[in-house]
């Protein structure tokens, strides 16, 4: 079993000759700078969400600050538009790596009518874009593990080389769905990667009260799949683990469970006050595990990131976020006249002036069933 402990020191992956950073895993300088850019954009988008929330422009935020190193590293080797991503609410950087644009992410924050994730129907954080092979997120945790398993099963039956990756928190890995999904994938040797982003807390409940074992990865053994532990601030180690799992899956060698040890730099969500259950030291030490400055220092030490490149990147990230925010905010709210669409494929929407919730239907008009009959639907 390929269970490995996280490297104790953040920079343990830095090779002796820093200018070859990434070479051992086949990454070029351009790749590394692109990965850093993705992390920086994700962070900038994420920070903007919280600013918008504090400014009362969006009622709710849930996001992934602190998880970006693992998310970018693990997703970087996926084939966009070919593989499948089944994300969760913290997947901002995973999604940006997989091609979702900051504008698309911001549309979900503002819940506008043209929001490709849900047309403004879902809370922010519930992304999903069919054209990008990103499955729609729901709120009940862990359900998506089974969907990812099913997508992978379909790939196997259809004999494609499509790989599916899905993500979940460590607390959520205690739901039955998690175990049921891994078991099925193990039995059928499916091309799926389960990523547990372990940030130590499920809202307020610490890992020690969630799990009798310190590492979720060892659960892979129970389902006959490798359980790999990676340190989420070691972006290159995350990339390596992701690529190995993706390659294995693509070769038909089966599923992998990957546990990324990350830190949650924000409260659980904008509704949470984490100072109530986390000590000052705990919060402070989390900051040392921010993957952005760690990766930045690695790149600088390798001579790959000079002042000018960095300044350009920061400026670009800011511009992207400004554009995404302003543009998304300017889009219209959904039209309530569309609210009954997409309940079924084949039934026409009930007449908008019909049921009593509008307060205008009145007695004797036959109710919703009359409407369906009138429009040729089932009566």
Partner 1 sequence: MAVMTFIESVRTTLAQEMRRDDSIVVLGEDVGKKGGVFLATDGLYDEFGGDRVLDTPLSESMIVGVSIGAAVAGLRPVPEIQFADFIFPAFNQILSEAARMRFRSNGAFTCPITLRAPYGGGVHGALYHSQSVEAFFAHIPGLKVVIPSTPYDARGLLRTSIRDNDPVLFFEHKKMYRSVRGDVPDDDYTIPIGQAKVTREGTDVTLIAYGLMAQYSLEAAELLASDGVSAEVVDVRTLRPLDGETLLASVRKTGKAVVVYEDNRFGGYGAEIAAIVAEEAFESLDGPIVRVTGPDVPGVPYNHVLEDWFMPNPERIAEAARRLAAY
Ligand X SMILES: Cc1ncc(C[n+]2csc(CCOP(=O)(O)OP(=O)(O)O)c2C)c(N)n1
Question: Residue numbers of the site for Mg ion (CB under 5 A)?
Answer: 169-171, 199, 202
Let me know: does 170 contact 202? Beta carbons within 8 Å. Answer: yes
Let me know: does 2 contact 218? Beta carbons within 8 Å. Answer: no
Close Cβ partners of 262 (under 8 Å, ≥ 6 residues apart)? 66, 67, 69, 70, 197, 198, 199, 232, 233, 289, 291
Site membership for ligand X, residue 8 (CB under 6 A): no
Site membership for partner 1, residue 202 (CB under 8 A): yes
Find the catalytic residue in 126, 132, 219, 264.
264
Tell me whether residue 268 is one of the annotated catalytic residues.
Answer: yes
Side by side, the strands of the sheet bearing 164-169 are: 84-86, 164-169, 192-198, 256-261, 227-231
Query: Shortest distance, CB of residue 210 to partner 1, whole angstroms?
Result: 5
Site membership for ligand X, residue 199 (CB under 6 A): yes
Site membership for partner 1, residue 210 (CB under 8 A): yes
**Mask 134-173, x = binds ligand X (CB under 6 A)?**
-----xxx---------------------------xxxx-
Residue from 90, 103, 132, 243 touching ligand X (CB under 6 A): that is 90
Find the catalytic residue in 103, 268, 278, 289.
268
In angstroms, the CA 287 to CA 279 distance is 13
Query: Shortest distance, CB of residue 338 to partner 1, whole angstroms?
Result: 9
Query: Shortest distance, CB of residue 374 to partner 1, whole angstroms?
Result: 17
Let me know: does 270 contact 61? Beta carbons within 8 Å. Answer: yes
Question: What angle separates helix 29-54 from helix 291-301, to the nearest 10 degrees?
Answer: 150
Tell me whether residue 147 is one of the annotated catalytic residues.
Answer: no
Site membership for partner 1, residue 218 (CB under 8 A): no
Residue at token pair 């990523």: 195
Which of these ranges, 76-84, 199-207, 231-239, 308-316, lies near ligand X under the rule CB under 6 A?
199-207
- Residues found in the chain: 379
Classify each residue of 222-235 as buried b or exposed e, where b means 16 or more C-beta atoms within 10 Å of its C-beta: ebebbbbbbbbbbb
Instruction: Categorise residue 316: left if φ over 0, alpha if ψ from -120 to 50, beta otherwise.
Output: alpha
Close Cβ partners of 328 (under 8 Å, ≥ 6 residues apart)? 103, 106, 107, 109, 110, 112
Query: Shortest distance, CB of residue 325 to partner 1, whole angstroms?
Result: 17
Tell me whether residue 342 is one of the annotated catalytic residues.
Answer: no
Between residue 338 and residue 357, which ones bind partner 1 under the rule CB under 8 A?
Answer: 339-340, 343, 350, 355-357
Let me know: does 68 contact 91? Beta carbons within 8 Å. Answer: no
**Mask 107-146, x = binds partner 1 (CB under 8 A)?**
----xxx----x-xxxx--x-----------xxxx-----
Site membership for ligand X, residue 255 (CB under 6 A): no
Residues with a known catalytic role: 264, 268, 277
Instruction: Give contact residues for ligand X (rule: CB under 6 A).
Output: 90, 139-141, 169-172, 197, 199, 201-203, 268
């Amino acid at each position: 079993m390929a269970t490995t402990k996280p490297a104790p020191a953040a920079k343990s992956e830095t090779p002796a000759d820093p200018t070859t950073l990434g070479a051992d895993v086949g990454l070029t300088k351009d790749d590394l700078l692109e990965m850093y850019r993705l992390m920086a954009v994700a962070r900038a988008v994420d920070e903007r969400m919280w600013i918008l929330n504090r400014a009362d422009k969006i009622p709710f935020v849930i996001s992934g600050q602190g998880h970006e190193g693992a998310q970018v590293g693990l997703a970087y080797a996926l084939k966009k538009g070919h593989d499948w991503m089944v994300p969760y609410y913290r997947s901002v950087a995973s999604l940006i790596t997989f091609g979702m644009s900051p504008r698309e992410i911001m549309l979900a924050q503002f819940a506008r009518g043209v929001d490709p994730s849900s047309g403004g129907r879902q809370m922010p954080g519930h992304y999903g874009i069919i054209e990008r092979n990103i499955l729609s997120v729901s709120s009940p945790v862990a359900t998506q593990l089974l969907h990812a398993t099913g997508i992978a099963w379909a790939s196997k039956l259809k004999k494609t080389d499509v790989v599916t990756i899905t993500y979940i928190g460590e607390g959520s890995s205690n739901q039955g769905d998690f175990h049921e999904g891994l078991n099925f994938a193990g039995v059928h040797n499916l091309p799926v990667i389960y990523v547990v982003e372990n940030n130590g807390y499920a809202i307020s409940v610490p890992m020690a009260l969630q799990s009798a074992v310190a590492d979720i990865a060892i659960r892979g053994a129970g389902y006959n799949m490798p359980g790999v532990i990676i340190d989420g601030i070691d972006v290159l180690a995350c990339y390596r683990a992701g690529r190995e799992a993706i390659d294995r899956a693509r070769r038909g060698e089966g599923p992998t469970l990957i546990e990324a040890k990350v830190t949650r730099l924000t409260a659980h969500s904008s509704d949470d006050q984490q100072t109530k259950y986390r000590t000052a030291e705990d919060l402070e030490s989390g900051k040392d595990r921010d993957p952005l400055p760690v990766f930045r220092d690695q790149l600088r030490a390798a001579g790959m990131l000079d002042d000018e490149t960095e300044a350009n990147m920061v400026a670009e990230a800011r511009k992207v976020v400004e554009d995404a925010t302003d543009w998304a905010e300017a889009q219209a709210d959904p039209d309530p006249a569309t609210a009954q669409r997409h309940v079924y494929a084949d039934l026409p929407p009930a007449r908008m002036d019909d049921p009593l919730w509008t307060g205008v239907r009145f007695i004797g008009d036959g109710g919703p069933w009359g409407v369906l009959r009138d429009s040729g639907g089932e009566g």
